Structure 1
Amino acid sequence: MTAAASPFPRSTVIGMLLIGALAFVGLLWFLGNNTGGSGNNGGAHVGGYGLNGYAGIAQMLEAEGLDVIRQRNRQAIETQPGLLILTPPASAEGKEIAKVVEARRYIGPTIVVTPKWLALGVNSTKAKRGWVQVVDTIAPDWEGFADNVAVQIGTDKSPPAGGWRVGTRRGPLPDDRRVESGSGKGLVPIITAGNGKVLAAWLDDDGYYPALNEFAGIDPDYGGEDEDRYPVVMVFEPDLLDNWGLADKATALLARDLILAAADNRAQPFAFDMTFNGFGASRNLLTLAFEPPFLAATLCLLLAALAVAWRALHRFGPALQSGPEIANGKAALVANAAGLIRRTGRVHLVATPYADAVRDRLALALGLPRGQSAEATEKLIDAAQDRRGLGGPRFSAAAAHLRSARKPHDLTRRAAVVHQIEKDLT
């Protein structure tokens, strides 16, 4: 058989297989985690580039080298350490928000931004994707979360709020009349409006938050004794953090400082939640395949596939050209006869003819007298073995042993003994 020339180099084949395998695994991961797309749909979340979105503050933090995460996994926001910024819509389930906040009290700080603007997409050919126009205000209805806190939104006819202030810092608000504020027991004000209304505060509890005390300009020793507890900061006025508010430099710097004070640690992740805004990755079989404990099984499967591919590449090569289906000449007769005997299950019938054929060849090679009986000829062959000092069984015994074989493997083993005697004597 001869080898035909390979149409592709081995390196090309390996590269094609690796690229295909990586692309397939990547597709499964993207499908399972519902990734892809920036989320710039005009919503009030970190993916929004409109007036009501929070893409600006995320990019601002990233520019400082902070680890910013746009989180789409609901389980991760309840368990992942670091600062979490929640921007739920007005229609979000309050009990779900409370569940996330309570789960994080000893994991990391949480900032909850209440919504205010009812925005619609800009219907113009000149408008960029994600641009919105503000048409009205809408207060959150989060029953089950911070029910002791009330939220109010001013109207077009309300008196100006006088911008925002914290300590000696001052700044404007995009809409100084339609300002959202909070009130209720258990709030420690951080940022207030010019008229004294609370624009941002943290929930008063047993925790001790020195960074927030310093930022708000209050007694540094204020707080409880539970230093393991993390704060929950309520930002009632979203224009303190959204893109519209960040158009003012003073407000942008205020937003940055507020987030850093709540985090009190620049080395930790800064996660912006997107799950409450409809971008959560649903749990499915593909999602589970890339999460513990099933991640181990996925990795084992991938390693097994790599091992199979490696073994396949080692035997990969140009196709071998096989010979003709029907052999020519004597080889055809031998092959056909052997195949017929094997198929009919009569392999044991060849034992006696083979032993007789070896005896006749040895008699001719040793020059033994002709015309003698088979037994006499075999005894002469035994005598030739003795004269030459050959060990092992005598020919007569080996031939008789071969003739009594019935199973194919016994026949093969005993025929090998007879063949070895023939080789030794010739």
Structure 2
Amino acid sequence: MTTPAAGAASNKAAGAASTRKAAPFNRVVLFVLLSVGVVSAVAFAFLTAYAPALDAAHNRGGHALSRAGTGFSAIVDLATASGTPTRLSHDDRPGDAGLLVLTPEAGTSPAQVDRLVRARDGEPTLIIVPKWETSPNPIRPTWIETHGLVAAPDAPLSTVAPGVGVTTRAARRGERLIAPGIAGVDTFPAPAVLQRLDPAAGLDAIVTAADGSVVLGWQTKHNIFILADPDLLDNAGMRDLAAARIAIALLRDLGAAKDGGLVFDVTLNGFGGGRDLLRLMLEPPFLGLTLALVAVAGLAVWQAAIRFGTPAAPGRAIAFGSAALIDNIAAVIATAKREGAIAPRYAALAGATVAAHRHAPTGLTDRERAAWLDRVGTTPRFSVLAHDATLVDTPAAALASARALHRWQMEAVHDR
């Protein structure tokens, strides 16, 4: 025998089981899936914005981001540590503050170099001529392999400094470069393979070799400095502390000590040249706005996910009953703007109804029936109401005509 308490417990358990069976998804699983989706979307946006900065090419090549022997990341770090304001330029409009350092490669377009120099409007610019032909190491992609000297190191200079040639020779044992115009530097060791400028290129010599050839020259026309041998400033040359000090003194003397410090361009090497919308969103000053928008979106999702009470069941699209049918018909007439056309028809229907109820003679025309209804009806007469119905042109006039006809019909059949 089943007791009432046992029956109630059984019904409750059955209801709970049916509720669990009715739920198609587990809330914990949905929360985990949503969290994974949000984290994945954020990671995708971040990696898309900073993919160029995470590329292994940053660690090789002859540019200011490279940590390879032919790169210049060491001089960037040394200049920053020595107190010289230093920054990297990812913009093809670097501005006119400080000493702009260009590190073109052998295949760099001369027009790109010329455009950056002319954008400086006479402010000092240092162009470091390429020297070594390199390629990525197939085993370690962040390393490089050197294949000798570049074929045409002076190619990037053909527009901004036409006529400037570049030659290479082996340095003599113990050969030193001469820099009398640089404060604190008189001479310093020459690289094993010395790359130099054509001495007849119309440049003012700043650093020269023992044979008088120009290693660092100054072109007064555009206020540009041309360094023929990048080994004086690249990472391989910064292995020696004395060479690093000379390099910092050299850059300061060329104009880095002025307001603006050093600006290393990397657009010539394929890193930058424009503004990325995602990076602007993820960096100050727009980072605060991005976080605020994310917070607002999170609050909106939280508000939409929480429901208070049992949700109300949706009603029928079309309700039952004659009243709903009449309302729908009226809505269709109003939507089609046919009130003016329906009023005369309603008048004819009201007249036919009263004529049938009062047993009007058969075979009457519309005019004869209207005259007959005028005699049996009340004031106002039916013919007047029917004529007014033909003049309806607005919804309000149609409603007034229908009310008058309905009142006349009720009084004509004595049905109040």
TM-score (norm 1): 0.55
Query: Structure 1 residue 260 and structure 2 residue 257: aligned?
Result: no
**Paired residues for 1:65-84 under 5 Å:** 66-71=85-90, 73=92, 76=93, 80-82=95-97, 83-84=99-100
Q: Structure 1 residues 417, 171: CA separation in 2 closer, same or farther (over 3 Å shift)?
A: farther
1:406 corresponds to which residue? 392
1:263-320 Cα offsets, whole Å, 9 max, x none, are: 3564437432334334465x9xx98x99xxxxxxxxxxxxxxx9xx99xx8xx97898
Is contact 2:194–2:229 with CA below 8 Å preserved after alignment? Answer: yes
1:6-56 Cα offsets, whole Å, 9 max, x none, are: xx9xxx9xxx9xx99x979x79x959x977647425211122110000122
2:360 corresponds to which residue? none
1:90 corresponds to which residue? 106
Q: CA deviation at 1:348?
A: 1.8
Query: Letter of the aligned partner of 1:250 in structure 2?
Result: A
**Paired residues for 1:255-294 under 5 Å:** 255-263=247-255, 266-268=258-260, 270-279=262-271, 281=273
Return 5+ residue gaps in structure 2 as ranges.
1-26, 279-292, 352-374, 405-416
Percent sequence identity is 22
Provide the rounded CA distance (Å) in 1 between the counterparts of 2:333 and 2:165. 97
Q: Structure 1 residues 353, 241: CA separation in 2 closer, same or farther (over 3 Å shift)?
A: farther
Identify which of 70, 77, 84 aligns with 1:52. 70
2:218 corresponds to which residue? 202
Identify which of 158, 168, 176 aligns with 1:162. 176
2:123 corresponds to which residue? 108
Q: Structure 1 residues 374, 43: CA separation in 2 closer, same or farther (over 3 Å shift)?
A: same
1:325 corresponds to which residue? 317
Provide the rounded CA distance (Å) in 1 between the counterparts of 2:77 and 2:224. 23
Identify which of 236, 250, 254 aligns with 2:242. 250
2:164 corresponds to which residue? 149
1:236 corresponds to which residue? 228
Q: Structure 1 residues 100, 354: CA separation in 2 closer, same or farther (over 3 Å shift)?
A: same
**Paired residues for 1:169-188 under 5 Å:** 169=185, 173=189, 176-182=191-197, 183-188=199-204
Identify which of 322, 325, 343 aligns with 1:348. 343
Q: CA deviation at 1:246?
A: 1.7
What SS does the aligned partner of 2:165 have? strand
Query: Letter of the aligned partner of 1:189 in structure 2?
Result: A
1:190 corresponds to which residue? 206
What SS does the aligned partner of 1:97 have? helix
2:290 corresponds to which residue? none
Q: Structure 1 residues 347, 234: CA separation in 2 closer, same or farther (over 3 Å shift)?
A: same
Is contact 2:90–2:265 with CA below 8 Å preserved after alignment? Answer: yes
Is contact 1:162–1:195 with CA below 8 Å preserved after alignment? Answer: no
1:165-193 Cα offsets, whole Å, 9 max, x none, are: 545426755x7331122223532222344
Q: Which has the higher contact order (CA 8 A, sep 6+)?
A: 1
Q: Structure 1 residues 57, 123: CA separation in 2 closer, same or farther (over 3 Å shift)?
A: same
Is contact 1:89–1:115 with CA below 8 Å preserved after alignment? Answer: yes
Is contact 1:30–1:36 with CA below 8 Å preserved after alignment? Answer: no
Is contact 1:54–1:243 with CA below 8 Å preserved after alignment? Answer: yes
Return 5+ residue gaps in structure 1 as ranges.
1-7, 206-229, 291-305, 357-371, 380-395, 419-426
Provide the rounded CA distance (Å) in 1 between the counterparts of 2:102 and 2:266. 8
Is contact 1:51–1:243 with CA below 8 Å preserved after alignment? Answer: yes
Provide the rounded CA distance (Å) in 1 between the counterparts of 2:332 and 2:184. 106
Is contact 1:122–1:133 with CA below 8 Å preserved after alignment? Answer: yes
Provide the rounded CA distance (Å) in 2 between the counterparts of 1:322 and 1:109. 75
Provide the rounded CA distance (Å) in 1 between the counterparts of 2:120 and 2:70. 28
1:224 corresponds to which residue? none
1:43-93 Cα offsets, whole Å, 9 max, x none, are: 1112211000012222334443725123353xx25xx32332111123444
Query: Letter of the aligned partner of 1:162 in structure 2?
Result: R
What SS does the aligned partner of 1:43 have? coil
Query: Letter of the aligned partner of 2:149 in structure 1?
Result: T
RMSD: 5.3
TM-score (norm 2): 0.56
2:409 corresponds to which residue? none
1:133-169 Cα offsets, whole Å, 9 max, x none, are: 444223514244434433222237x444225654542
Provide the rounded CA distance (Å) in 2 between the counterparts of 1:350 and 1:85. 90
| Number of equivalenced pairs | 315
1:131 corresponds to which residue? 143
Q: Structure 1 residues 236, 404: CA separation in 2 closer, same or farther (over 3 Å shift)?
A: same
Query: Letter of the aligned partner of 1:248 in structure 2?
Result: D
Query: Letter of the aligned partner of 2:153 in structure 1?
Result: P
Provide the rounded CA distance (Å) in 1 between the counterparts of 2:84 and 2:256. 16
2:133 corresponds to which residue? 118
Query: Letter of the aligned partner of 2:72 in structure 1?
Result: Y
Provide the rounded CA distance (Å) in 1 between the counterparts of 2:395 and 2:79. 79
Query: Letter of the aligned partner of 2:142 in structure 1?
Result: G
